[in-house]
Amino acid sequence: MNALVPLPVLLPLCVTGLKLAIGPRLHRFQRFISLAVLGAVLVLSVVLMVAADRHGPLSVHLGDFAPPVGITLVADRLAGLMLTVSSAITLLVLVYSMGQGMADRDDQAPVGVFHPAYLILVAGVSCTFLAGDLVNLYVGFEIMLVASFVLLTIGGTATRIRAGSTYVIISLFSSVLFLVAIAMTYAVAGTVNFAQLAQRLQEVPLGVRTLLEAMLLTVFAIKAAVFPLAAWLPDSYPTAPAPVTAVFAGLLTKVGVYSMLRTQTLLFPGHRLGDLLMLAALASMGVGILGAVAQTDLKRVLSFTLISHIGYMVFGIALAGRTSISGAIVYVAHHITVQTTLFLVAGLIERRDGTTELTRLGGLARAAPLLAVLFFVPAMNLAGIPPLSGFIGKLGLMRAGVADGGGWAWALVAGSAATSLLTLYVMAKVWNLAFWRDAPPGAEEEGVVLESAEDDDTGDDDTDDEEERPTGSGLPVPAGAVVAAGFLGQSITTTKHLPWPMVAATGAAVALGLSYTVLGGPLTTFTQAAATELLARTPYIEAVLGR
Domain contains 482: no
Domain contains 452: no
Judge residue 91's burial from the number of C-beta atoms within 10 Å of its C-beta, 0-12 exposed, 13-18 middle, 19 or more buried.
buried
Helix, strand, coil distribution of the chain in percent, nearest 5? 70, 5, 25
Spatial CA neighbour of 37 closest among 105, 94, 103: 94
Torsion of Cα atoms, 335 then 339 then 340 then 343, to 10°:
180
Spatial CA neighbour of 396 closest among 288, 306, 227, 521: 521
In angstroms, the CA 475 to CA 143 distance is: 34
For the stretch 145-194, pLDDT in tens is 888 888 877 766 667 677 677 788 888 889 999 999 999 999 998 899 99
pLDDT band of residue 546 (cuts 50, 70, 90) is: confident
The DSSP output letter for 6 is T
Are 61 and 29 within 8 A, CB to CB?
no
Domain contains 466: no
In angstroms, the CA 286 to CA 282 distance is: 6
Domain contains 485: no
In three state form, how does the secondary structure of 364-423 look? HHHHCHHHHHHHHHHHHHHHCCCCCHHHHHHHHHHHHHHHHCCHHHHHHHHHHHHHHHHH
Percentage of the residues of the chain whose pLDDT score is greater than 70: 85
pLDDT band of residue 527 (cuts 50, 70, 90) is: very high
Domain contains 344: yes
Domain contains 310: yes
Give Cβ neighbours of residue 393 (< 8 Å, ≥ 6 apart): 312, 327, 328, 330, 331, 334, 335, 384
Judge residue 255's burial from the number of C-beta atoms within 10 Å of its C-beta, 0-12 exposed, 13-18 middle, 19 or more buried.
buried
pLDDT score for 23: 65
Total domain count, the chain: 1
pLDDT score for 108: 45
Q: Domain limits at 253?
A: 2-441+496-545
Domain contains 455: no
Are 91 and 43 within 8 A, CB to CB?
no
In angstroms, the CA 389 to CA 520 distance is: 7
Core vs surface per residue 183-210: b (16+ CB within 10 A) or e: eebeebbebbbbbbbbebbeebeeeebe
Identify the three-state secondary structure at position 71: strand
In angstroms, the CA 308 to CA 303 distance is: 9
For the stretch 204-213, pLDDT in tens is 888 899 999 9
Computed over every residue of the chain, the mean pLDDT equals 83
In angstroms, the CA 319 to CA 3 distance is: 35
pLDDT score for 45: 94
Count CA within 13 A, CB hemisphere, residue 189.
28
For the stretch 303-315, pLDDT in tens is 999 999 999 999 9
Using only C-alpha atoms, what is the Rg of the chain? 22
N- to C-terminal Cα separation, the chain? 19
Domain contains 515: yes
